[in-house]
Amino acid sequence: GESVGLHLPTLSVQEGDNSIINCAYSNSASDYFIWYKQESGKGPQFIIDIRSNMDKRQGQRVTVLLNKTVKHLSLQIAATQPGDSAVYFCAEEGGGNKLTFGTGTQLKVEL
Protein backbone atom coordinates (compact mmCIF):
# COMPACT_ATOMS: atom_id res chain seq x y z
CA GLY A 1 0.00 0.00 0.00
CA GLU A 2 0.93 3.68 0.10
CA SER A 3 2.70 3.28 3.44
CA VAL A 4 5.71 1.52 1.88
CA GLY A 5 8.75 3.60 2.67
CA LEU A 6 6.77 5.69 5.13
CA HIS A 7 7.55 4.67 8.68
CA LEU A 8 4.31 5.33 10.48
CA PRO A 9 3.76 5.20 14.19
CA THR A 10 1.80 2.06 14.96
CA LEU A 11 -0.88 1.48 17.56
CA SER A 12 -1.80 -2.12 18.30
CA VAL A 13 -4.97 -2.83 20.25
CA GLN A 14 -6.99 -5.88 21.14
CA GLU A 15 -10.40 -6.28 19.55
CA GLY A 16 -13.00 -4.75 21.81
CA ASP A 17 -10.62 -2.32 23.50
CA ASN A 18 -10.77 1.42 23.01
CA SER A 19 -8.21 3.12 20.76
CA ILE A 20 -6.81 6.61 21.12
CA ILE A 21 -4.89 8.15 18.24
CA ASN A 22 -3.16 11.45 18.78
CA CYS A 23 -2.15 14.25 16.48
CA ALA A 24 -0.34 17.54 16.93
CA TYR A 25 -1.19 20.29 14.49
CA SER A 26 0.93 23.25 13.57
CA ASN A 27 -1.22 26.20 12.60
CA SER A 28 -2.86 28.02 15.49
CA ALA A 29 -5.09 29.80 12.96
CA SER A 30 -6.66 26.55 11.73
CA ASP A 31 -10.35 26.46 12.46
CA TYR A 32 -11.46 23.13 11.06
CA PHE A 33 -10.06 19.69 11.76
CA ILE A 34 -10.85 16.32 10.25
CA TRP A 35 -9.93 12.73 10.90
CA TYR A 36 -9.55 10.44 7.89
CA LYS A 37 -9.21 6.68 7.67
CA GLN A 38 -7.25 5.13 4.84
CA GLU A 39 -7.42 1.45 4.04
CA SER A 40 -4.95 -0.22 1.74
CA GLY A 41 -5.56 0.63 -1.91
CA LYS A 42 -8.15 3.28 -1.12
CA GLY A 43 -8.18 7.02 -0.65
CA PRO A 44 -8.69 8.77 2.69
CA GLN A 45 -12.23 8.39 3.99
CA PHE A 46 -13.85 11.03 6.19
CA ILE A 47 -14.56 9.87 9.75
CA ILE A 48 -15.40 12.90 11.83
CA ASP A 49 -14.69 16.61 11.95
CA ILE A 50 -14.63 19.38 14.53
CA ARG A 51 -14.52 23.14 14.39
CA SER A 52 -12.33 25.28 16.59
CA ASN A 53 -15.26 26.59 18.62
CA MET A 54 -15.76 23.11 20.04
CA ASP A 55 -13.54 20.87 22.15
CA LYS A 56 -15.38 17.58 21.71
CA ARG A 57 -17.57 15.96 19.13
CA GLN A 58 -19.02 12.48 19.10
CA GLY A 59 -20.03 10.23 16.27
CA GLN A 60 -20.88 6.57 16.07
CA ARG A 61 -18.16 4.82 18.11
CA VAL A 62 -15.80 7.73 17.50
CA THR A 63 -15.04 10.86 19.48
CA VAL A 64 -12.74 13.70 18.52
CA LEU A 65 -11.17 15.91 21.16
CA LEU A 66 -9.56 19.25 20.39
CA ASN A 67 -7.17 21.05 22.71
CA LYS A 68 -6.36 24.39 21.12
CA THR A 69 -4.07 25.44 23.95
CA VAL A 70 -1.51 22.79 23.08
CA LYS A 71 -2.63 22.32 19.46
CA HIS A 72 -3.55 18.71 19.99
CA LEU A 73 -6.23 16.57 18.41
CA SER A 74 -7.21 13.04 19.34
CA LEU A 75 -9.48 10.37 17.91
CA GLN A 76 -11.04 7.85 20.22
CA ILE A 77 -12.54 4.68 18.80
CA ALA A 78 -14.73 2.68 21.14
CA ALA A 79 -14.86 -1.11 21.04
CA THR A 80 -12.29 -1.35 18.27
CA GLN A 81 -13.10 -3.89 15.58
CA PRO A 82 -10.92 -5.65 12.98
CA GLY A 83 -12.48 -3.45 10.30
CA ASP A 84 -10.99 -0.44 12.04
CA SER A 85 -7.49 -1.52 11.03
CA ALA A 86 -6.17 1.21 8.75
CA VAL A 87 -3.99 4.31 8.68
CA TYR A 88 -5.57 7.30 10.39
CA PHE A 89 -4.73 10.87 9.45
CA CYS A 90 -5.61 14.11 11.08
CA ALA A 91 -5.95 17.12 8.82
CA GLU A 92 -6.32 20.82 9.52
CA GLU A 93 -7.82 23.55 7.39
CA GLY A 94 -6.56 27.07 7.94
CA GLY A 95 -8.68 28.75 5.32
CA GLY A 96 -9.23 28.34 1.61
CA ASN A 97 -10.24 24.68 1.95
CA LYS A 98 -6.63 23.53 1.69
CA LEU A 99 -6.02 20.57 3.99
CA THR A 100 -2.73 20.00 5.77
CA PHE A 101 -2.29 16.39 6.77
CA GLY A 102 -0.37 14.80 9.60
CA THR A 103 1.93 11.85 8.95
CA GLY A 104 -0.63 9.24 9.96
CA THR A 105 -0.87 6.43 12.50
CA GLN A 106 -1.23 2.76 11.61
CA LEU A 107 -3.89 1.10 13.75
CA LYS A 108 -3.64 -2.67 14.04
CA VAL A 109 -6.44 -4.59 15.70
CA GLU A 110 -5.44 -7.93 17.13
CA LEU A 111 -8.00 -10.69 17.55
Partner 1 sequence: EAGVTQFPSHSVIEKGQTVTLRCDPISGHDNLYWYRRVMGKEIKFLLHFVKESKQDESGMPNNRFLAERTGGTYSTLKVQPAELEDSGVYFCASSQDGNEQFFGPGTRLTVL
Contact positions vs partner 1 (CB under 8 A) = 2, 4-7, 32, 34, 36, 41-46, 49, 89, 96-104
**Residue 76 beta carbon to partner 1: minimum distance, rounded to whole angstroms:** 20
Which of 59, 110 has the CB closer to partner 1? 59
The string of DSSP letters for 17-43 reads S-EEEEEE---TT--EEEEEEE-TTS-
Give 20's contacts (C-beta < 8 A, 6+ positions apart): 74, 75, 76, 77
**Residue 6 beta carbon to partner 1: minimum distance, rounded to whole angstroms:** 5
**Residue 16 beta carbon to partner 1: minimum distance, rounded to whole angstroms:** 29
